[in-house]
Amino acid sequence: MNENKILIVDDNPTNLKVLFDYLTGEKGNKIFVAKNGREALERTAFAHPDIILLDIMMPEMDGYETCRRLKENEDTREIPIIFLTAFADTDNKIKAFNSGAVDFIVKPFNQDEVLARIKTHLTISRQKKELEKANADLADANVALGKSNQALADANSTLEEVNHALEETNKELAKANASKDKLFSIVAHDMRNKLFSITGSIDMLESFYHDLNDDEKQDRIRAMADSSKHMYKLFENLFTWARMQTGSIEVVTEEVNVAGIAEEIISFFMEDATAKGVELTCDVPEGCDVMYDKNMLQFIIRNLVHNAIKYCDSGNRVVISCTQDGKWHNIAVTDNGVGMKKEICDSIFETGAKSSRPGTRREDGSGLGLMVAKEFAELNRGSISISSREGFGTKVILSLPASSECASHFE
Q: How confident is the model at residue 159 (pLDDT cuts 50, 70, 90)?
A: confident
- CA separation for the pair 311, 276 (Å, rounded): 10
DSSP for 300-369?
A: HHHHHHHHHHHT--TT-EEEEEEEEETTEEEEEEEE-S----HHHHHTTTSTT-------TT-----SHH
| DSSP 8-class letter at 247 | T
Residues 33 and 7: beta-carbon distance below 8 Å: yes
Q: Please tell me the predicted confidence (pLDDT) of residue 19.
A: 92
Asked if 307 and 370 count as a contact pair (C-beta separation under 8 A), the reply is yes
- Nearest-10 crossing angle of helices 214-246, 159-208: 160
Asked if pLDDT for residue 231 goes beyond 60, the answer is yes
Contact 370, 306 (CB under 8 A): no
My answer on whether omega of the bond before 49 falls inside 30° of 0, hence cis, is no
Cα dihedral sign, 264-270-272-276: positive
The pLDDT assigned to 332 comes to 94
Find out whether the peptide bond into 108 is cis, omega within 30 degrees of 0: yes
**Nearest alpha-carbon partner for 406 in 252, 251, 257:** 257
Q: What is the pLDDT of residue 236?
A: 65
Q: Give me the helices (H) in 158-257, please.
A: 159-208, 214-246
**Mean per-residue pLDDT of the chain:** 82
pLDDT tens sequence across 19-43 = 999 998 888 899 999 999 999 999 9
Q: pLDDT of 330-362, one tens digit each?
A: 999 999 999 988 888 877 777 554 556 778 887
Q: What pLDDT is stored for residue 124 in this prediction? A: 92
Average pLDDT over residues 374-402: 88
- In terms of pLDDT, which residue wins out, 216 or 7? 7
pLDDT score of 377: 84
Task: Name every residue whose Cβ is closer than 8 Å to that of residue 381 and which is 6 or more positions away in sequence.
Answer: 400, 401
Segment 237-261 shows an average pLDDT of 72
Q: What percent of the chain has pLDDT over 90?
A: 35
CA-to-CA distance for 96 and 381, rounded, in angstroms? 72
Average the pLDDT over 284-313 and give the result.
87
Confidence of residue 408 (pLDDT cuts 50, 70, 90): very low
Structural domains of the chain, ranges and CATH numbers in brackets: 4-130 (3.40.50.2300), 158-249 (1.10.287.130), 250-411 (3.30.565.10)
pLDDT of residue 69: 93
Average pLDDT over residues 86-94: 81
Angle value at C-alpha 176, between 362 and 184, nearest 5 degrees:
35
Q: What angle do CA 371, 326, 335 make, to 5 degrees?
A: 45
Confidence of residue 86 (pLDDT cuts 50, 70, 90): confident
DSSP 33: E
Residues in contact with 15: Cβ distance below 8 Å, sequence separation at least 6, in sequence order: 55, 84, 107, 109
Query: What value does the mean pLDDT take over residues 181-196?
Result: 54
Among 58, 20, 56, CA closest to 36? 58
Report pLDDT for 28.
85
Interatomic CA distance for residues 192 and 187, integer angstroms:
9
Question: What's the whole-number mean pLDDT along residues 45-69?
Answer: 92
Contact between residue 304 and residue 396 where contact means Cβ atoms under 8 Å apart: yes
**Is 60 exceeded by the pLDDT of residue 54?**
yes
What is the average per-residue pLDDT within 363-368?
66
Q: In this structure, what are the phi and psi dihedrals at residue 195, rounded to the nearest 5 degrees?
A: -65, -40
DSSP H helix total and E strand total for the chain: 12, 12
